């Protein structure tokens, strides 16, 4: 925990004695949630409320092409989405209660992909990625909706390295703590993609890998949703809140 100290004088009759007031840092970790393509901030809100109760400032938002701006869906590119994420990050960091040196980004699917790229452009201390999607670097400014789905499916089943992919290159440089979550029965982000991400985090301070048994990509069942929420909350408690309490991050790497 970051602690500030102030020397004071305590009056005792006509004399005074020295004292020191210690106070905890008034700032808290900031948590930024990034939903997947076709999703919204609604599913993140319940988890964000729970994590806020642990002592964090959380921000959820809707990417352009979703919810209120759904009419833009067919025109939104990855460039547009990254602009949205950068704007949301900057908004969170500007909050007076947020410690800009203690930012976590939690991304699902497309949001996980964007979160890794963000980590190369802004300071990020923790990354939690649930079924992070993967896209080739070309066609960056093409509307995402127009990308060839069959080609994407083949690409994600292939072995992709940091030398060939912008998101994985960002993972290779990331030195913070990582949570990587796979869904056992995911038809959109296969096991090979998770392995590409897992291999890329060469310099991560810690890497926790979890599998949600029986879950599909969208976590359609209530059980899958509950399991994911527990995994995420436990990890945030250990890494983010643990770092705040001890002043240094946890050193364990957990595999399963």
Q: For 18-49, how does the pLDDT look when each residue is reduced to its tens digit (9 = 90+)?
A: 888 776 667 899 999 999 999 989 889 999 99
Q: Is the pLDDT of residue 250 over 70?
A: no
* Mean model confidence pLDDT for the chain: 91
Q: Has residue 252 been placed in a domain?
A: no
Closest CA to 253 of 220, 193, 208: 208
How far, in whole angstroms, is CA 169 from its chain's centroid?
Answer: 17
**Per-residue pLDDT, 140:** 97
Distance, CA of 23 to CA of 167 (rounded, Å): 40
Q: What digits encode the pLDDT tens for the residues 157-169?
A: 999 999 999 999 9
Distance, CA of 124 to CA of 104 (rounded, Å): 6
Distance, CA of 20 to CA of 55 (rounded, Å): 26
**Per-residue pLDDT, 13:** 87
Q: Has residue 72 been placed in a domain?
A: yes
Phi, psi angle pair for 133, to nearest 5°: -75, 170
Q: Has residue 10 been placed in a domain?
A: no
- Structural domain count of the chain: 1
Q: Which domain range does residue 193 map to?
A: 26-246
CATH of the domain at 190: 3.40.50.1820
DSSP, collapsed to helix, strand or coil, labels residue 252 as coil
Q: Has residue 105 been placed in a domain?
A: yes
Q: Has residue 182 been placed in a domain?
A: yes
Q: What digits encode the pLDDT tens for the residues 111-158?
A: 999 999 999 999 999 999 999 999 999 999 999 999 999 999 999 999
Question: Is the Cβ–Cβ distance between 32 and 89 less than 8 Å?
Answer: yes
**Per-residue pLDDT, 3:** 65
Q: Has residue 1 been placed in a domain?
A: no
**Per-residue pLDDT, 84:** 96
Q: Has residue 15 been placed in a domain?
A: no
Q: Is the pLDDT of residue 237 over 70?
A: yes
Dihedral sign computed on CA atoms, order 117, 66, 73, 92: negative
Would you give the DSSP letter of residue 134? -
Tokens of 31: 């948590």
Q: Has residue 197 been placed in a domain?
A: yes
Distance, CA of 96 to CA of 87 (rounded, Å): 16
State the pTM of this model: 0.88
Q: What digits encode the pLDDT tens for the residues 197-223?
A: 999 999 999 999 999 999 999 999 999
């Amino acid at each position: 925990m970051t602690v500030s100290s102030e020397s004071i004088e305590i009056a005792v009759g006509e004399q005074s004695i020295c004292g020191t007031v210690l106070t905890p840092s008034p700032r808290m970790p900031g948590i930024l949630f990034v939903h997947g393509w076709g999703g919204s901030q609604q599913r993140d809100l319940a988890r964000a409320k729970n994590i806020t109760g642990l002592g964090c400032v959380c921000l959820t938002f809707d990417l352009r092409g979703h919810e209120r701006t759904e009419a833009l869906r067919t025109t939104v590119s990855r460039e547009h989405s990254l602009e949205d994420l950068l704007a949301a990050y900057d908004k969170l960091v500007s909050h007076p209660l947020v410690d800009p040196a203690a930012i976590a980004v939690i991304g699902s699917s497309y949001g996980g992909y964007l979160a890794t790229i963000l980590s190369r452009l802004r300071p990020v201390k923790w990354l939690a990625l649930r079924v992070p999607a993967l896209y080739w670097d070309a066609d960056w400014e093409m509307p995402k909706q127009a990308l060839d789905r069959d080609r994407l499916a083949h690409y994600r089943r292939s072995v992709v390295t940091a030398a060939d992919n912008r998101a994985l290159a960002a993972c290779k440089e990331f030195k913070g703590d990582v949570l990587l979550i796979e869904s056992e029965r995911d038809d959109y982000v296969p096991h090979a993609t998770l392995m590409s991400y897992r291999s890329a985090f060469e310099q991560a301070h810690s890497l926790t890998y979890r599998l949600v048994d029986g879950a599909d990509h969208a976590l359609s069942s209530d059980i899958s949703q509950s399991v994911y929420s527990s995994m995420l909350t436990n990890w945030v408690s250990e890494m983010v809140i643990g770092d705040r309490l001890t002043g240094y991050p946890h050193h364990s790497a957990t595999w399963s």
